[in-house]
Amino acid sequence: MELFRIGGKVVGRSKLIDAIDAILQDRAAGATQEEAARNAGVQRSFVSILETVGEVRRGPRVALVGFPVANCEEVRALAEKHAVDFVLVVSQEQREYIENGSPAEVFNRLLETLSVLRDFDTLVLIASDWRIRTVERILRTEVVGIPLGATPLREDKAVDIAQLDAVLAAVTKAAPATVGRQSRMGGRLREAAEDIAGRWTQSRKS
């Protein structure tokens, strides 16, 4: 444990980090600032200050899905820059590996993914023109399509990073109606999205 002598006190860095993690997990799970503060044994103002210092962005919940993408790492890095909530970007090789898995498992995971995506405010979809139109009909969320070409697409296509940057800047911008909105679904949605993205990733690396 890294210790700091501050006047007459000795402060443990790991103890601070553990406390902050617990507060953030409580808040992400839907606890109020007052509830999170009470659980951590601190004042509510501390929780408020903590969120202000650590805030990356506020506004709509945004998901990004893309396939088959040639410059996956560039796209993921840009999504991270804009603090996109859910990112699933695969190349054609990764896509074929997924498609060659158990049909039942792939189908069930696809249904789970679509179910989670319905709870996002905006989905940025990078895919073929037909795929974009199909997903728009399935989901009740707003879909912003970036076409990679005509269906069927069986080879990687490079995403225009400048165009994607502009799109993500627009869709992640806080709208008046969403600023400061508190949602008890927020934490559970993020956990579900991370779980699904992780399972797709695991299937690509297995």
Cα distance from N-terminal residue to C-terminal residue, the chain: 35
CA distance 150 to 130: 7
Please tell me the pTM assigned to this model. Answer: 0.68
Residues 126 and 74: beta-carbon distance below 8 Å: no
Alpha helix positions (H), 55-160: 72-81, 92-99, 103-117, 129-138
Per-residue model confidence as pLDDT tens for the chain (206 residues): 789 989 989 999 999 999 999 999 998 888 999 999 999 999 999 999 998 888 766 678 899 999 999 999 999 999 999 999 999 999 999 888 888 888 888 888 888 888 889 889 999 999 999 999 999 999 878 999 999 999 989 999 999 999 999 999 999 985 544 443 334 345 566 666 667 666 676 655 44
3-class secondary structure, 148 = strand
Q: What is the pLDDT of residue 187?
A: 59
Q: In the sheet where 122-128 sits, what is the strand order? A: 86-89, 62-66, 122-128, 142-149
